[in-house]
């Protein structure tokens, strides 16, 4: 009996220690995302290259791909949409161009989850689930753009004011809204991770020079390394008894049913003001088996709704009709994303599972997806549209 009691105490102690280590590496994981983002933002510090990329040219596909690229670089669709809305409020970007760029931001935000999923590649079963989760975020966003982008482009050509359906509906809605000053809430994730971000930045700048390109690149690389290391140990400490308890918590509270999972995605994204953080955090948790894929999907849809709140706040902080129009268009785009793909959820879920099985058999397919979707297709699309229309 004594031996049994001693084993039980030892087991509980190990569970608590694993939980504490998991919390530590969760914190470092969040730090890694912000460190990487700070470094990449620093690469463009002192120049207007981010704004130039988004607002370049009259080709809507350029604006779309600009939104994808900038969001991929800064690892935050909230930052990109806020930047876009600020440019619109300042009169430096047309409403229609801004709406196409916002569509691109929705695709770009899925890259973070795809990168995070690669950190679980060593263990096939975990990688299959984690990569499927990342794909369930990317595929609906890409498919929604494939549907709405041509509709918006064609309707903008057909309508007399040069704006598409989304822009006109959003403009009408903006007419009904009174503008008032709004204070942007504090991002709690940035607050708690700021000491680590400042430490890494300060160390790299003391070596490479304050504000130098080399220091910013070094910060980004440190963030990437920290992300993979923290992810590795986070997943390792989530196994066993900790995973069993988390499964119970998630299944009975945050992921009890689809509606609760959807609400959890909305409010968790609003609370941290970053869908990149919430979706990237879900990837290793689902990979570890704590959350079922069918429950992860509505959560990811909710994250897309939650991320629009930052844009609304940015618009109300710069209360012009054009800025509010773009913010409302962002909400409408993600509302369409939710209303299209939740009823048809079997399509993106099955596509994600099928491709994740393929990538699990040969990891090269994960890299092929990234290269095809974010490099090859955009280059071909730009070449065709510039040749045909511009």
pLDDT at 51: 56
pLDDT at 357: 93
d(CA 390, CA 386): 5
pLDDT at 301: 93
- CB distance 310 to 273 below 8 Å: yes
- Output the DSSP codes for 67-113: HHHHHHHHT-HHHHHHHHHHHHHTTSS-HHHHHHHHHHHHHHTHHHH
Which residues in the chain come in under a pLDDT of 50?
A: 1, 7, 46-47, 180-183, 241-243
- CB distance 50 to 44 below 8 Å: yes
Backbone angles phi, psi at 304, to 5 degrees: -65, -35
Residues 6+ apart with CB under 8 A from 68: 104, 105, 107, 108, 374, 378
Q: Which two tokens stand for residue 54?
A: 């988004």
Q: Which two tokens stand for residue 230?
A: 């923290």
Q: Which of 330, 354, 382 is nearest to 145 (CA)?
A: 330
> What pTM did the predictor assign?
0.74
H or E element that contains 381: helix 377-389
pLDDT at 180: 42
DSSP label of 363: T
pLDDT at 292: 86
pLDDT at 145: 92
pLDDT at 205: 79
d(CA 58, CA 286): 41
- Beta-carbon count within 10 A of 47 CB: 9
- By CB atoms closer than 10 A (0-12, 13-18, 19+), residue 336 is middle
d(CA 364, CA 247): 31
């Amino acid at each position: 009996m004594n031996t049994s009691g001693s084993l039980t105490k030892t087991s509980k102690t190990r569970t608590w220690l694993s939980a504490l280590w998991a919390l530590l590496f969760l914190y470092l994981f969040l730090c890694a995302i912000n460190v990487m983002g700070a470094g990449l933002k620093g690469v463009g510090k002192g120049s207007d290259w981010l704004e130039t990329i988004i607002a370049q040219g009259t080709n809507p596909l350029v604006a779309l791909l600009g939104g994808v690229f900038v969001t991929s670089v800064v690892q935050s669709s909230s930052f990109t949409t806020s930047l876009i809305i600020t440019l619109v409020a300042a009169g430096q970007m047309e409403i229609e161009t801004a709406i196409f760029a916002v569509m691109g931001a929705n695709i770009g935000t899925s890259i973070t989850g795809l990168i995070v999923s690669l950190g679980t590649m060593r263990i096939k079963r975990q990688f299959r689930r984690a990569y499927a989760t990342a794909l369930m975020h990317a595929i609906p966003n890409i498919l929604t753009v494939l549907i709405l982008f041509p509709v918006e482009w064609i309707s903008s050509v057909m309508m007399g004011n040069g704006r598409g359906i989304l822009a006109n509906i959003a403009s009408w809605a903006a007419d009904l809204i009174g503008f008032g000053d709004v204070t942007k809430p504090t991002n709690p994730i940035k607050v708690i991770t700021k000491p680590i971000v400042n430490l890494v930045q300060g160390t790299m700048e003391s070596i490479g020079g304050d504000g130098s390109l080399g220091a910013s690149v070094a910060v980004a690389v440190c963030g990437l390394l920290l992300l993979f290391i923290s992810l590795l140990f986070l997943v390792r400490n989530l196994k066993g008894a900790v995973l069993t308890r988390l499964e119970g918590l998630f299944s009975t509270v945050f992921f009890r049913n689809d509606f609760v999972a959807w609400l959890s995605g909305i409010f968790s994204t609003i609370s941290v003001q970053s869908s990149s953080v919430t979706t990237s955090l879900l990837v290793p948790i689902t990979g570890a088996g704590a959350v079922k894929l069918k429950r992860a999907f509505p959560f990811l849809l909710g994250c897309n709704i939650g991320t629009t709140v930052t844009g609304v706040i940015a618009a109300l902080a710069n209360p012009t009709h054009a800025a509010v129009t773009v913010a409302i268009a962002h909400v409408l785009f993600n509302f369409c994303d939710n209303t299209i793909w939740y009823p048809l959820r079997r399509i993106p879920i099955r596509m994600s599972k099928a491709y994740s099985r393929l990538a699990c058999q040969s990891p090269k397919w994960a890299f092929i997806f990234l290269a095809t979707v974010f490099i090859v297709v955009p280059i071909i699309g730009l070449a065709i549209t510039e040749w045909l229309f511009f």
